[in-house]
Amino acid sequence: MRLALICIALAEALIVPAHAHTGVGSVSSFSSGVAHPFSGADHLIAMTMVGLWSVFTDRRAVLVWPATFVAAMLGGFAAASWGLQIAFVEQAICWSVVLLGVLVAFRVRAPVALGAVIVGLFAFFHGHAHGTEATTANLILYAAGFTLATSALLAVGVGAGFYARSSVGTLLLRAAGGCAAAVGLSLLGG
């Protein structure tokens, strides 16, 4: 019951900054690129969950899935920067939070290739959101900034996964996945 209350409180606290993909101010510099993934719960949670989920699977996933996330995110960024418009990007991003949380909560072990496809699909939408916001002035600097920040968040997820798995077991990680899914559902409804 306490865990459910904590998840609800976390979801409510994070709903307001979650939809940070429109009107976020300057998105034309390296520093704004670094700041962007930290500006919304959807990015923070999805990237961290990718790292946690990879730890549950195997060592190859720990390398492949974060690298796939970054590559597909840059692909989505490029597609949006070149004018490709996709409907329901925000909803896809929210669903990525829900589904990645569920995959962690239920400790789903997927083949590395299948997990890479799932992670890549989610990352494409996250990258597309970055690309629709970017100004043409400094696309490369902005992309470099959010790529660095994204890589850091993915590394935090992997590091937290290994630390928690070795010190407190997987129950805490699974609870984090459940909380992530709850926040994702709140974002969808918000």
pLDDT digits (tens, 9 = 90+) for 121-142: 999 999 998 888 776 667 889 9
State the pLDDT at residue 26. 59
pLDDT of residue 164: 81
Average pLDDT in the 91-109 region? 95
Backbone angles phi, psi at 70, to 5 degrees: -65, -45
CB of 52 within 8 A of CB of 160?
yes
Higher-pLDDT residue of 177, 166: 177
Could you identify the residue written with the tokens 């916001």?
133
CA distances from 99 to 2, 74, 118, 177 (A): 23, 21, 10, 9
Per-residue confidence (pLDDT) for residue 25, from 0 to 100 = 54
CA distance 54 to 168: 18
Other CB atoms within 10 A of residue 60 CB: 14
What's residue 136's pLDDT?
64
Q: What is the mean pLDDT of the chain?
A: 85
Predicted structure pTM score: 0.85
Give the model confidence (pLDDT) of 57-76 as tens digits. 888 999 999 999 999 999 99
